[in-house]
Amino acid sequence: MVIEYKNEPLTDFSIPANKAAMEKALKAVNTAKGTHYPLVIGGQKIDVEAKITSINPSNTSEIIGTTARANSDLAEKAVEAAAQAFKSWQYVCPAERARYLFKAAAIMRREKFDFSALLVEEAGKNWVEADADTAEAIDFLEYYARQIGKYTKGMEVYSYPGEENECVYIPLGVGVVIPPWNFPLAILTGMTAAAVVAGNTVVMKPASATPIIAAKFMALWEEVSLPAGVVNYLPGSGGTIGDYLVSHPKVRFINFTGSKEVGLRINKLASELAPGQKWLKRVIAEMGGKDAMIVDSESDIEAAAQDIVTAAFGFQGQKCSACSRAIVVKDVYDAVVAKIVEKTKALKVGPASNPAVNLGPVIDENAYKKILSYIEIGKSEGKLVCGGSKAGSYGYFIEPTVFADIKPAARLANEEVFGPVLAVIPAEDFEQALAIANDTEYGLTGAVFSNNRAKLEQARREFQVGNLYFNRKCTGALVGVQPFGGFNLSGTDSKGGGTDYLPLFMQAKSICEKL
Ligand code: NAP
């Protein structure tokens, strides 16, 4: 009997035992630094000379570990291994498939601090963010393991005299899982576990900035004895093996989360029929955002400013759901900007392993340079009221930065920066604030702070985002509670962590027998 689903609680690090456990786990990660991880294809460990080196973004002289770097020959091998494993995995009963997820969740829970400590060092997440990433990964395993039970009965159909009818759900085939680096455990886990519990087999290509946490996740599948080839671990550059995997005729679906640019490329390539391909590929693509929080004149501006700062600078603004636009109605504009600045100035930047730190580093040199170049753009588009500089020389640290008086047409109001940079945009009134919020090609998350029921109801109808929040921050969606996915160029609105997600990895088959 499976107990009722509930979200994994977050760790309270003010409890000395929890703090000590995290310190111990961080020490263990330090000891293991530099370990090399081979590919895992069809249950075989395969090594090659070419390597991916994972760097600690808090201290760029430190190597977290290395992995083998796959080329297209190895990508071919991985697809073949997944295709081979699919022959039997597709017929394993859903309850049995779910048991692998339950067991993986139990182990991940026991080793929570070890997973989180690796996230601190490899992704630059502070303790709280790393813990939330691990908790979300556990949630995905627990949630999808329960959800699959709903589909074993098949689709409800009417009876017809003289016939026996049913409509069953069956898996799709071989999938490619392509996650981003910013939730390198939670998103990787959710995207993989959903596909696998639905009866598919996958090639898991982790983001190149965070392949070590993915190796630890692969080891978890091995520990629970998931049959060889059901999940294949294939680190490699997206630019090199991505197109090969996406275009492969034996690949049935691509489960992608990442930038708009890469998502659009995948969508285009997947629509082309490869020689020997027998199906239309299914693409699940969750992409970027330019998320807005609206502050109305009739609202708790203290709470609004606090939540804007939390949503803008949590994990250094590197969340698809991060608040990158604060749209503030003019009556409260000066007061809200002052509060945002005061709260942002109180944030501490430093190595993610230091528990007192609010902002760790950004992920890598490319991100560092890109964000700093957006800060230069911001200086010509608005008024720099906070931050605006690098912060330290040994890691990719950037001050939390706030630009006020940004115009809706400015680049900073339209392009995803994906870093600790907030654009504050003034609006004449609530009506205009909503229009500005919607005037974007994206549509991922959004929030409104208002005490006026009519305005909240208007936003409920008209704010075009996949995840809308009232009187709270626009980050922090919970699995099973706020199904997640974006509108427009933010993606296919797949609603991960929701009841509609698993059918994306299945097809329905109507079967009729004349009696
Ligand atoms: P990215 O550059 O698009 O990379 C995402 C993944 O795609 C990585 O594994 C990458 O591999 C791979 N890739 C790159 N080129 C490819 C190609 N030609 N074919 C196939 N795969 C390819 O995104 P990111 O920088 O990792 O992540 C940040 C972005 O993700 C932001 O835009 C953020 O908003 C978005 N995101 C969205 C959600 C959501 O739910 N909507 C959640 C999290 C993040 P390499 O690492 O080897 O290049």
Q: What is the pLDDT of residue 290?
A: 98
- Distance between Cα 38 and ligand 1 center (Å): 22
The parent domain of residue 464 ranges over: 291-478
Query: Residue 312 has which token pair?
Result: 């803008």
Tell me how far the alpha carbon of residue 78 lies from the centroid of ligand 1, in angstroms. Answer: 20
Nearest residue CA, atom 19 of ligand 1? 242
Query: What pLDDT is stored for residue 392 in this prediction?
Result: 81
Beta-bridge partners for 175: 202, 253
Beta carbon of 235 within 6 Å of any ligand 1 atom: no
Predicted pLDDT of residue 393:
79
- Residue 14 inside a domain? The answer is no
State if residue 288 touches ligand 1 by the CB under 6 angstroms criterion: yes
Tokens of 135: 């908790």
Q: What is the DSSP string of 325-338?
A: EEEEEHHHHHHHHH
Q: Is residue 132 domain-shared with residue 259, that is, in the same domain?
A: yes
Give yes or no: residues 303 and 189 share one domain: no
The answer to whether position 12 is within a domain reads no
Which candidate, 496, 483, 79, places its Cα nearest to that of 257? Answer: 496
Q: Is 214 in the pocket of ligand 1 (CB under 6 A)?
A: no
User: 190 CB less than 6 Å from ligand 1?
Assistant: no
Ligand 1 pocket member 208 (CB < 6 A): yes
What separation in Å is there between the alpha carbon of 180 and the centre of ligand 1? 4
Residue 486 maps to a domain: no
What are the structure tokens assigned to 480, written together? 């099973």
Contact 383, 362 (CB under 8 A): no
Beta strand pairing status for 174-178 and 251-257? parallel
List per-block mean pLDDT (blocks of 10 residues) for the chain, which spans 515 residues.
Answer: 94 98 98 97 98 98 98 98 98 97 98 98 98 98 97 94 97 98 98 98 98 98 98 96 98 98 98 97 98 98 98 98 98 98 98 97 98 98 98 93 98 98 98 98 98 98 98 98 98 98 98 96
Rounded to whole angstroms, the Cα distance separating 358 from 339 reads: 18
Looking at the whole model, is its pTM more than 0.95? yes
CA distance linking residue 515 with residue 164, whole number of Å: 7
Domain presence at residue 258: yes
The amino acid that residue 273 corresponds to is L
Number of domains observed in the structure of the chain: 2
Contact 139, 166 (CB under 8 A): no
Whether residue 252 contacts residue 263, with contact meaning beta carbons closer than 8 Å, is answered with no
SS3 440: coil
Residue 266 sits in the same domain as residue 327? no
Active site residue 93: no
Please name the residues in contact with 234: beta carbons below 8 A apart, sequence gap of 6 or more.
39, 41, 70, 74, 75, 78, 203, 204, 205, 241, 245
Contact present, 270 and 101 (Cβ < 8 Å): no
Supply the CATH number for residue 370's domain: 3.40.309.10
**Could you tell me if 298 and 314 lie in one domain?**
yes
Q: Does 228 share its domain with 305?
A: no
Evaluate the CA torsion angle 440, 443, 448, 453 in order and state its sign.
positive
Q: Cα(447)–Cα(470) distance, rounded to whole angstroms? A: 5
Tell me, yes or no, whether 328 and 472 share the same domain.
yes
251 and 317 both lie in a single domain: no
Is residue 474 domain-shared with residue 506, that is, in the same domain? no
Look at residue 459 in the predicted model and tell me its pLDDT: 98
The pLDDT of residue 514: 96
**Among 247, 262, 318, residue to substitute to test ligand 1 (most atoms within 8 Å of Cβ):** 262
What's 238's domain CATH number? 3.40.605.10
Q: Do the domain assignments include residue 71?
A: yes
Place of tokens 């629509």: 271
State the pairing for strand pair 63-68/51-55.
antiparallel
Closest CA relative to residue 86, chosen from 142, 42, 134 = 42
